[in-house]
A and B are shown apart, each in its own frame.
Chain A
Amino acid sequence: MTGAATKHMALAVCTGCDIGRCIDTDQLIDATGQAFQGITCIKHGSLCSPDGQAGLRRTVMEKKVDRLAVAACSPRVMTSAFEVDGLLVERVNLREQLAWVMEPGHEDTRMCAEDQVAMALSKLDAIRTNDPYIPDPVSSDILVVGGGITGLTSALEGARAGYRVHLVERSDRLGGYAGRIHKLLPENLDSASLKEPDLYKLVSEVTGHPGVEIHLETGIRSISGEPGNFEVVIENSQVSTLHIGAVVAATGWKPYAPDKLAALGYGSGRVKTLEEFEQYVQEEQLPNRIMFILCAGSRDEDHLAYCSTFCCGAALKQALYVREKNPGAEVYIVYRDIRTPGFQEGFYKMVQADDAIFMTRGVVEKVDDQGDSVAVTVSQSLLDDLVTIHADMVVLATGMVPNTTTDLQLQYRLGKGLPELEYNFSDSHFICFPYETRRTGIYAAGTVRAPMDMEMSREDGAGAMMKAIQSIECVKRGEAVHPRSGDTTWTELYMERCTDCKRCTEECPFGSYDETEKGTPLPNPARCRRCGICVGSCPERVIGFADFNINSVSAMIKAVSMPDEFEEKPRILVFVCENDAYPALDAAGMNRLKFNPFIRIIPVRCLGSINKVWVSDALSHGYDGILQIGCKPGDNYQCHFIQGSELNEKRGENLQETLETMMLEPERIRTRFVEITDHHGIMAIINEYMEEIDLIGPNPFKSM
């Protein structure tokens, strides 16, 4: 940690990319030098050029600078150019958000530049470096839950990469559904000959690998702790504890309950599901007329609303079983659409080449077991308005239902399983990253997260394992995994002032906090996504990161020089979420959309990280309005931290009380949402708000 006593701050101003043309940089340096005594200031025509960077580094070395403000382009570009080890660097965006969008040479532009520099320097003054958080002890072992094709692939990939893998399977055998399959779709999908099952190869590779420990007939009693340091209690004949770094949840699927398909004849001995028929084919003689009904209970709002993707291919494959085993048999296939994604299309065409396989689009109205045969009534086919087809046996192609993940028995206050998305499939796309769930270090793979076939499951197993490994390696370095990859700050709590109000534990979308019975938060920093929602939640203001905390933002707020009300220069504080809103502002800048020079921008980790105290600080400092712009909330969340925007809105309702006690208009605080692509929208939001504030007039606290 860098001691507060030896702060050496510097300001480097770049005059390239129109900045030098827009503002008088010498004047800026003078003003800064007066406001921040003892500061070292340099300027360069192109700070990011090799010459500029060399000069910058020379200054840092010679003057023993430990905090550097770079007044140049957006922090979203040229990141590595201004990174110096051990140095706190703050970027002042004078290009995208000033030189390109404000009037050159104007007094308001100059004031904005001076304020932005002052804000950065005040922040630098208020922050510090920190030691990364690394759990102790830290484990590199990986737990794979589920011994189906996904789990097996995952375990093997992990072991091959040199990690110790514990594979836990509930039943007494490995292989899952894939292990019960009679034959597979051909590998070369242009060939109609089915492939012999090969899952035993994978099973024997896994069982033979010294890096994999297999726990059959084993359940999970609990998973507690955090990435790098999970304590997993498993239970078979005895109870034992594993020390685990990351988890892959591959708990798989089950067929849709066919009992619900009595309307399609299920219950009669002549009507079977795909899974039942897979067994039947291996054991019994096949009759001469077999009908497959596709989408049985799928793509149907009353049953499964989605497509399970594998059933068409499986049914076509079983049609070939029939033809192979009983060459005199005829197969009828009634479908709504044949869906053979990817290379399966070739296989579909091969199956079509068999002229004893008859296919029609149609909707099955009735399945009637008449004793000697089953009469299937089909409507909406081209055969006729309503037709009856007689078959000796009917196979229902039922879909996939995900297994629950509550078997993971997570000891999180947010529940024992992973969050569930639509149709009960587990969370797996936390901000667009496959396998990534809202439980850090726990990755969902295979059919538990989406319907898929065996090839996709293998891919999924491998992919999730790579994420698990990545997570362990990040944790070992004390870095955040995702989405703030590489961030080494973490939530530090000043527990002496904590009142056990539980707001942080309740509001954390990732379940980072456990709590004692009394409600005292027990942080698990390795579970943390570093969003700062707890920073925003804490009424006692005891939570913060080394470089983003109550004081650092307050310092920025107060660094702005406040003109008095007669100058007619309002000041609007804009908290901007750095995930989507800040890039949208940059894009507006690149498109040279005019910015109002009265706004002062403070990027935040998430709208949810905005603490109420900053709002009252700003109002008492004399800002005329506070605008908070973040990502869109809702079920199909764009908010990178799920609930940040929502929480901000909710807290805003409480803030209205604060405004009332200060006798201020409710319009002085405003929350708005924007998409990353909507740079015109974000400008409109700001401009509309400016007009509104103009009408209300200046903040009465301004002159106090």
Chain B
Amino acid sequence: MSTIVTDIAFKRELVRLSGAQLNQCMQCGNCSAVCSLAPAERPFPRKEMVWSGWGLKEKLIGNVDIWLCHQCGDCSSYCPRDVKPADVISAIRQKSYQHYARPRFLGKLVSNPAWLPLAVAIPVAVIIAILSLAGTFRIPDGPVDYSSFFPHGLLNATFSAITLLFYLLASFGIGRFWKDMKRQTPPGEAGMKRLPVFTVLGEILSHSNFSGCTSRKPGRYAHLLLFYGFALLILVTLYAIWATFTDHYPLPLTSTFKIMGNIASVMIYTALGIMTWQRLSNKKVFGKSGYSDWLLLAAIGLLTLSGTMVQLARFGNWQIAYHLYFFHLVAVWFVIMYLPFTKLGHIFYRTTAMLYARSIGRK
């Protein structure tokens, strides 16, 4: 037996973020019926729609099911009242990033366009501070050599340290999330299994959870392209960091890794193109694309674009090479450092939720 305490402010936040008229839900359950991912027992998203309508924050934040949703949009397509369950679930996830963000202001920083100047100002200030301390904060002469602007060792050390710091902070949030899931969706009588890491990894690598979707078939391929493009770029970046130690950096255009990086960029451009086109054209499935959606698409797009430009500038000895490089570093910060607090945080939260769900047999 639980006591219901309405939180109208939270309900209004969800309405604002999703653009869905939550009250118009008539609890018919079409959404749960068409969802290819909803478990047979206590399926989502119908119950989440009712909880949202009552502003039951306690039940929604830390709810494992909202992370099992892969936002394919079938529920929204088939909703007879046009209440857009997919967007509501997405809004709950956004509130979750903010809820678990530590320090809290990092969550706020990337969730509201009003804070965007500050969100940009922080990496700008930090990079200027590092460069000023290193004494390299000026445009170097001669052929383009980025290490003369930001020494590679220093770059790798500071950026890695900051990333690790941010992720460490985020891990506390993840820990609390795990506890919340356990409280709200306790394991059944069978108890918890050992963490099914390989099962979940398999699901992620194959994107099998996207396969049942009918409303947004291209979405699966776009996400696959983006996922593997991103993974490839991380691999290339790690190799590049290693290369700075072995002194054969920068890599020539013919380097296998350079080629891989450029292929990855093309994959990402393609993916972003599909995603943007879908968001703009398919209003039934993507009811309301919000700030967090566009911020992520823009950040990844600018990161990749600036990376390509930086590369071209090096080979072409462009005047603005160092400005582009500076811009690229800020974009890196946005995507990588802010990752746990933006929509990209689903990499952590969804993976965690999938691990939990599969370990208690929820599928």
Contacts from A to B (Cβ < 8 Å): 330, 332, 338, 349, 352-361, 377, 381-390
Q: In the complex, what's the smallest C-beta–C-beta distance from B214 to chain A, in angstroms?
A: 25
Q: In whole angstroms, what is the CA distance A353 to B12 when docked? A: 12
Among the 9-residue stretches B19-27, B203-211, B318-326, the one with 4 or more Cβ atoms under 8 Å from chain A is: B19-27
Q: Does B84 contact A (CB under 8 A)?
A: no
For this complex, 17 residue pairs linking A to B, each with C-beta atoms less than 8 Å apart, are A355-B12, A355-B15, A355-B23, A356-B8, A359-B23, A359-B53, A360-B27, A360-B53, A382-B46, A382-B47, A383-B2, A383-B50, A383-B54, A384-B1, A387-B2, A388-B1, A389-B3
Q: Which residues of A contact B23 (CB under 8 A)?
A: 352-355, 357, 359
Task: Contact check, B47 vs A353: say whether CB atoms are below 8 A apart.
Answer: no
Q: In whole angstroms, what is the CA distance A106 to B56 when docked? A: 86
Task: Contact check, A387 vs B1: say whether CB atoms are below 8 A apart.
Answer: yes
Q: Does B11 contact A (CB under 8 A)?
A: yes
The 4 closest A-B CB pairs, nearest first, are A352-B23, A382-B50, A382-B47, A389-B4
Task: Contact check, B27 vs A361: say whether CB atoms are below 8 A apart.
Answer: yes
Partner of B54, one of A338, A349, A358, A377: A358
Q: In whole angstroms, what is the CA distance A387 to B26 when docked? A: 19
Q: Which residues of B contact A358 (CB under 8 A)?
A: 6, 53-55
Tell me the chain B residues, 2-42 only, with Cβ under 8 Å from chain A.
Answer: 2-4, 6, 8, 11-12, 15, 21-24, 26-27
Given A332-B6, A359-B53, 11 more pairs with CB closer than 8 A: A338-B26, A349-B24, A352-B24, A355-B23, A358-B55, A360-B50, A377-B1, A384-B59, A387-B2, A388-B2, A389-B3
Q: Which of A332, A360, A381, A383 is most buried by chain B, counting CB atoms within 10 A of its CB?
A: A383
Q: Does B227 contact A (CB under 8 A)?
A: no
Q: In the complex, what's the smallest C-beta–C-beta distance from B185 to chain A, in angstroms?
A: 12
Given contacts A349-B24, A360-B50, A382-B50, contact A355 B1 (CB under 8 A): no
Partner of A388, one of B3, B6, B55, B56: B3
Q: Which of B21, B22, B50, B59 is most buried by chain A, counting CB atoms within 10 A of its CB?
A: B50
Q: In the complex, what's the smallest C-beta–C-beta distance from B40 to chain A, in angstroms?
A: 16
Task: Contact check, B1 vs A353: say whether CB atoms are below 8 A apart.
Answer: no
Q: In whole angstroms, what is the CA distance A360 to B6 when docked? A: 12
Q: Which residues of B contact A332 (CB under 8 A)?
A: 6
Q: Which residues of B contact A377 (CB under 8 A)?
A: 1
Task: Contact check, A355 vs B2: say whether CB atoms are below 8 A apart.
Answer: no
Q: In whole angstroms, what is the CA distance A361 to B11 when docked? A: 18
Q: Which residues of A contact B55 (CB under 8 A)?
A: 358
Given contacts A354-B23, A359-B53, A360-B54, contact A386 B1 (CB under 8 A): yes
Which residue of chain A lies nearest to B23 when distances are taken between CB atoms in the complex?
Answer: A352
Q: Which residues of A contact B8 (CB under 8 A)?
A: 330, 355-356
Q: Which residues of B contact A383 (CB under 8 A)?
A: 2, 4, 50-51, 54, 56
Q: Which residues of A contact B54 (CB under 8 A)?
A: 358, 360, 383
Q: Which residues of A contact B12 (CB under 8 A)?
A: 355
Which residue of chain B lies nearest to A386 when distances are taken between CB atoms in the complex?
Answer: B1
Task: Contact check, A382 vs B4: say whether CB atoms are below 8 A apart.
Answer: no
Given contacts A330-B6, A355-B15, A388-B2, contact A382 B27 (CB under 8 A): yes
Q: In whole angstroms, what is the CA distance A498 to B110 when docked? A: 101
Q: In whole angstroms, what is the CA distance A361 to B2 when docked? A: 16
Which residue of chain A lies nearest to B50 when distances are taken between CB atoms in the complex?
Answer: A382
Partner of B3, one of A354, A359, A390: A390
Q: Which residues of A contact B22 (CB under 8 A)?
A: 355
Which residue of chain B lies nearest to A390 when distances are taken between CB atoms in the complex?
Answer: B3
Task: Contact check, A387 vs B4: say whether CB atoms are below 8 A apart.
Answer: yes
Q: In whole angstroms, what is the CA distance A338 to B26 when docked? A: 9
Q: Which residues of A contact B21 (CB under 8 A)?
A: 352-353
